[in-house]
Structure 1
Amino acid sequence: MFGADGRFAYLVTELSAEVMVFRWDAQQGRLTLAQSLPISAAGFAGVKSGAEIAVSGDGHFVYVANRGENQIVVYRVAASGTLSEIQRVASDGSKPWSFGIDTTGRWLVVANQESGTVNVLAIDRKSGLLKSAGRSVKVERAVTVAFVVG
């Protein structure tokens, strides 16, 4: 997933549960690792698992699904492209597999595979922070959310 300016790429790993930042050299076609952070909280002893990743439309925030702790982790993007964690919020279900940010940038919709729920989180576009919108739909084995612009 590339940031808004195309200079940095962001990747989440599934089994090691890390978020990685790469610098992109378009002339050389080369990615260079700039940062790697664990998405699990310090001291978490359960099974670690990363899933979805998205960058806000303005490029100021990165969102990562943390399946191991049933959370969405929010990061602020520095001018250097590096990330700093600003929030951990419950996905309002179990095993957040995928999520999508709607075209207005106001809503993050998360598919929780194990609990069979699709939940809506509100995005504060200024701070990047999330909060539950209190909206949920039962969908058996929900695994993918996508918004289609057409």
Structure 2
Amino acid sequence: MTQTLYFGTYTKGQSQGIYQANFDEKTAEISDLKLFVEEGSPTYLAFSDEAIFSISNQEGKGGIAAYDLNGQLIDRHLEAGPAPCHISYDPGRQLIYTANYHTAQIKVYYLDDNHKLQLSDYQELTGSGPHPNQNQAHPHFVGLTPDHYLLVCDLGSDRLFSYKLVDGKLQQMTSFQTKSGSGPRHLVFHPSHKLAYLVNELDSTVDVLIYNGCGYFEHETKISTLPADFKGNNAAAAIKMSQDQRFLYVSNRGHNSIACFKIEIDSGISLVDITPSHGQIPRDICLSPKQDHLLACHQESNHLSVFKRDSETGLLTFISNQIQVPEAVFIDFKQNTF
């Protein structure tokens, strides 16, 4: 069965925007790679049933763009300054959220009845941390908790913020402090247990958190994404959970690897394996819809690595890295929506 795969990219070099390809679940072959739409550095994407929402950079302005499923522009909303780094879609409220690493702002948008993107609200975060990359607040992720609060990972101040949404307006509810200098980047919730898994960019770790609802977290345990003897520079990037809720995968930029963890509900997570990514600076990773494969896109070596995945052990077996995708930093199938 063939599935449609989307790539978000920087457009500092060869890339021209959002790319699309076909992925054959049976053979693991990727075909018909093509430019889906021209867009300035669409580094992250989010999907609704009828649209694709993208980060957008145009002539010194940053914001978001909305496209229909045929690649036709619906609308673009830009402001002076750098673009956000993360975007997500809220199907229940039909809102779009962004996190801006550079301006320390989180924003809420909606599409009005005339299919125009409108800014509903925004908040500017404050704070800092001890790491050189923590000179100010750096929100890096926006997404929903299981009970529909908006969660923000602030890499700059080592905090998780939760917000209540009232008529599209943000009301801050809670703040959870992570380990100083860890740099929380992305998070996934366990769909069946009150647990969350937080990947930290700056100290290359995963925190296992207990989620008590209403935005409140407790820390359970922490584990490294790297081999004990690794001494080089690394920045952890993406974190994804298998559909059977048994394994986590994390990409390591610098060590250039994919770490696999087994989820132990009663005792946190345990390291299964750390597999070379077969490329330079693996950014985003995703699991195929049938969960038989893992795909990793590399920002600097401009290609995609494909791995066979063993559903029983979680282990990855390298298949190929022959497909060239320029400056890719996001990869996902449309049905694997937030």
TM-score > 0.5 by shorter chain = yes
Counterpart in the other structure of 1:141: 327
SS state of the match for residue 84, structure 1? strand
AA partner of residue 15 (structure 1): L
> Where do residues 17-96 of structure 1 align in structure 2 (5 Å cutoff)?
17-26=204-213, 28-80=214-266, 82-96=268-282
* Identity across matched positions, percent: 28
Q: For structure 1, which runs of at least 5 residues remain unmatched after alignment?
A: none
Tell me how far apart the structure 2 counterparts of residues 132 and 77 of structure 1 sit (CA, whole Å).
22
Counterpart in the other structure of 2:199: 12
What TM-score does the superposition give when structure 1 sets the normalisation length? Answer: 0.93
| Residues 95-120 of structure 1: CA deviation (Å, up to 9, x unaligned) | 11011111111111100111111111
Q: For structure 2, which runs of at least 5 residues remain unmatched after alignment?
A: 1-187
Paired residues of 1:4 and 1:57 also in contact (CA < 8 A): no
AA partner of residue 203 (structure 2): S
Aligned-pair CA distance for 1:51: 0.3
RCO greater where, 1 or 2, for CA within 8 Å and sep 6 or more? 1
Is 1:111 the counterpart of 2:300 in the alignment?
A: no
Counterpart in the other structure of 1:98: 284
AA partner of residue 11 (structure 1): L
Tell me how far apart the structure 2 counterparts of residues 89 and 14 of structure 1 sit (CA, whole Å).
18
Aligned-pair CA distance for 1:135: 4.6
Q: What is the CA RMSD across the aligned residues, in angstroms? A: 1.5
Greater share of residues in strand: 2
| Residues 2-47 of structure 1: CA deviation (Å, up to 9, x unaligned) | 1231421111111111111101112x53111111112121121111
Tell me how far apart the structure 1 counterparts of residues 317 and 280 of structure 2 sit (CA, whole Å).
17
AA partner of residue 240 (structure 2): A
Tell me how far apart the structure 1 counterparts of residues 276 and 307 of structure 2 sit (CA, whole Å).
9
Counterpart in the other structure of 1:123: 309
Tell me how far apart the structure 2 counterparts of residues 56 and 92 of structure 1 sit (CA, whole Å).
21
Tell me how far apart the structure 2 counterparts of residues 100 and 90 of structure 1 sit (CA, whole Å).
16
Aligned-pair CA distance for 1:60: 0.6
Structure of higher CA gyration radius:
2
SS state of the match for residue 203, structure 2? coil
AA partner of residue 141 (structure 1): E
Aligned-pair CA distance for 1:64: 0.5
AA partner of residue 34 (structure 1): E
Tell me how far apart the structure 1 counterparts of residues 309 and 194 of structure 2 sit (CA, whole Å).
24
